[in-house]
Amino acid sequence: MKKSIKNILFITWDGPETQYLERLFLPIFAGLEKKGYKFHVLQFGWGTPEKFEQRAQACAELNIPYKSVKVFRLFRAIGSFLTAFLGQYAIQKAVAEWNIDTLMPRSLMPALAVLSMPKTARKKLNIVFDADGLAADERVDFAGISPTAKIYRLLRDIEMQMLCQANGVITRTEAARKILIARAGASLPLERCYRVSNGVDVTPFVKAFELSTQDQKTDFILCYCGSIGPQYRLPEMLGIAVKLKQVIPQLRFKLFSSALAEIHKQLEEKGLVGQDWIEYQALPAAEVPKALAACDLALALREPKFSTQGVLPIKLGEYLLAGLPILGTPHVGNASELEETGVFHSAELDGLEQSIDWVINNYLPQQKEWKKRSHEVGLHYFSLEETIERYNIALKGIEKL
């Protein structure tokens, strides 16, 4: 007989540049403690000792037990698979030390570590698989892996085994939920697969938004906040900024990202170096709410590949909570729901002209009202409380089954 879901071991796999644990998951886990769930973190990762120390400190501040496992970086894929296989021992040690009753592997490498455990040890535990999108397909779309390659078939096999063996599965989007249910067939009944959201602490955004409504400014600030890479389409973002500048002379474009060298390189290629209306800077997480709330419109482009149906970018929530309507890529995350509210418009070629018309003829004349509407939509879809409740419903539903 399985134990109830109370002491949960969240198993994650993160590079040194990601802050998902600190920014997204820890506040959710702290909130779920009030619902009767005690989370513990086992993090596979690489990077400097200082990085691991920062993460340990972030967990300690919320009274969340934390352990780390260093990922072998030799021969990339081989090192990763070896780390995951040997990771079963770190999991079993954490289970015994913390009296764990439920494992929650996030994505495929942690899933492999769980699947590598002896069946006798695994069967004593509940397993909740945080599929976190369509990870194997992301490797095809953005890491250059062939869909016929052995490594892709292996990753899909890990996904399938975990979908079939888990007591419950959680995803971030309805599209990902439908795809995973279809892949697993009868092994994953509808009632065992739940959709959760990526909520953030709204408090600093509410404060920043309220302060911004008192500001008097004459310029119009377009912004982007987040990672820079092929799938985020910086050249196209710059092209959209130039188009908007032609119809809104007072427009300025601000990019908030740590990838300053890459931004400079792209500006050079576009012949935009030295344009004083384009600014870029790295921004500590604590300064994001105030910086975004001082802007007027946000960009959220994503390469429209198969796997992007499964991601729910945190930046969508941060933009809206800061009071910013969005020009972005449809069918990513919950963009379809946001489109219905009027605060999300297509930045793709087939819809861009219409979206620019909306900015000129609808948004600019009623800017204060649209910013308030965006903030309210953000509170509805991306609040931390809403996310905690979705997790709570999922965990309670899985426990009943």
User: In this predicted model, what pLDDT tens digit does every residue of 245-258 receive, in sequence order?
Assistant: 999 999 999 999 98
Average pLDDT value over all residues in the chain: 93
Distance CA 392, CA 401 (A): 14
Please give the C-alpha separations between residue 210 and each of 205, 207, 322, 331, 372, in angstroms, as whole numbers: 8, 5, 9, 30, 10
With 80 as the cut, is the pLDDT of residue 76 above it? no
pLDDT at 2: 53
Q: What's the rounded mean pLDDT across residues 11-32?
A: 91
Among 71-75, 145-149, 203-207, the minimum mean pLDDT is found in: 71-75
Scored b (16 or more CB within 10 A) or e, 73-82 reads eeeeeeebbe
Task: For the chain, state the CA radius of gyration.
Answer: 22
Please give the C-alpha separations between residue 260 and each of 166, 178, 186, 303, in angstroms, as whole numbers: 42, 38, 48, 21
pTM > 0.95? no
Residue with the two structure tokens 């302060």? 211
pLDDT at 23: 84
Domain covering 203-382: architecture:
3-Layer(aba) Sandwich (3.40)
108 pLDDT band, cuts 50/70/90, is very high
**In which residue ranges of the chain is CATH 3.40.50.2000 found?**
7-199+384-400, 203-382
pLDDT at 401: 80
pLDDT at 125: 96
334 pLDDT band, cuts 50/70/90, is confident
With 80 as the cut, is the pLDDT of residue 216 above it? no
Domain covering 7-199+384-400: architecture:
3-Layer(aba) Sandwich (3.40)
